[in-house]
Amino acid sequence: MAVVALLGAGMTFVILTSGIDLSIAANLALVGTTIGVLTVHVGVYPVLGIFIGLCVGSAVGVFNGVLVSKAGLPALIVTLGGLTLWRGLAFQVTSGYDISGMVPIISFIGRGDILKIPMPIIIMFVYYGITSWVLKNTKLGRYVYAIGSNEEAARRAGINVSRYKIGVYIIGGFSAGLAAMVLIGRLDSSGGKIATGWELDAIAAVVLGGTSLLGGRGNIWGSLFGALLMTMIRNGMNLLGISPFIQMITLGLVIIGAVWIDMIRVRGFKRSHRD
């Protein structure tokens, strides 16, 4: 749950601006691979390796944001390309092999606890508290909602739309970095194949949490609820021994149903304002 929730936090910022980031799970794999190579193979000091990994995740966010906001490319196309680009780069770095035996600090992040509270849960709630405060109490948060509600109106009001769009993709990339730290610590390995398809779980969590894919409406804590719901669905099907193929079908139906409900909600919102 914590990994999907961390991805969902970053995805929430992006979707609130009417954007999308299909490369967020591939970015996670790239960051995880970077940290694994630096700390296990190269022998870099773990804290420095983690810092570099988070910088890599944020740099991917800059790349996405610049292409979307400055070059004017559709976010769907940019991040769809990134979905294979970053995962392919992760595979290339390790020649397709996994890196096992994470250093103690990474293992602690993924599997340790403080006062019997698992570290992934602590990281998740701290990050959600920070991002919730940012959305509610900062200029960035207000402008994210303004851009998602009406980008042209926000631009005419003097908001530097490009800068803030780049900013939300950086947050998405940083979130992928945090999620990578937790996941490789839990798996005790990293590589290009980790978190395959998890971008869909993150999107589903955000939409199920009430954030509109059209942008401008939603909140960060709803995404946490959506991540919990997605995890319950997956774990429940695993416990029932349901086929992985049926699970894929179910996830697809959940995403379609969530988007459908969102469209109905948006139409009702518009109709009530016209009335």
Mean pLDDT by 10 residues, the chain (275 residues): 94 94 95 94 92 96 95 93 94 89 93 93 96 94 92 91 95 96 93 89 89 86 92 88 87 82 71 58
Tokens matching residue 14: 């992006």
In sequence order, which residues have a C-beta less than 8 Å from that of residue 197 and are 6 or more positions away? Answer: 25
First to last CA, the chain: 41
In sequence order, which residues have a C-beta less than 8 Å from that of residue 178 and are 6 or more positions away? Answer: 6, 54, 123, 127
Closest CA to 57 of 178, 147, 158, 161: 178
pLDDT at 273: 56
| pTM of the predicted model as reported, rounded to 2 decimal places | 0.92
pLDDT at 271: 62
* Helix, coil or strand: residue 21: coil
pLDDT at 253: 86
In sequence order, which residues have a C-beta less than 8 Å from that of residue 104 and are 6 or more positions away? Answer: 46
CA distance 43 to 241: 41
**Which stretch of DSSP H or E encloses residue 99?**
strand 99-100
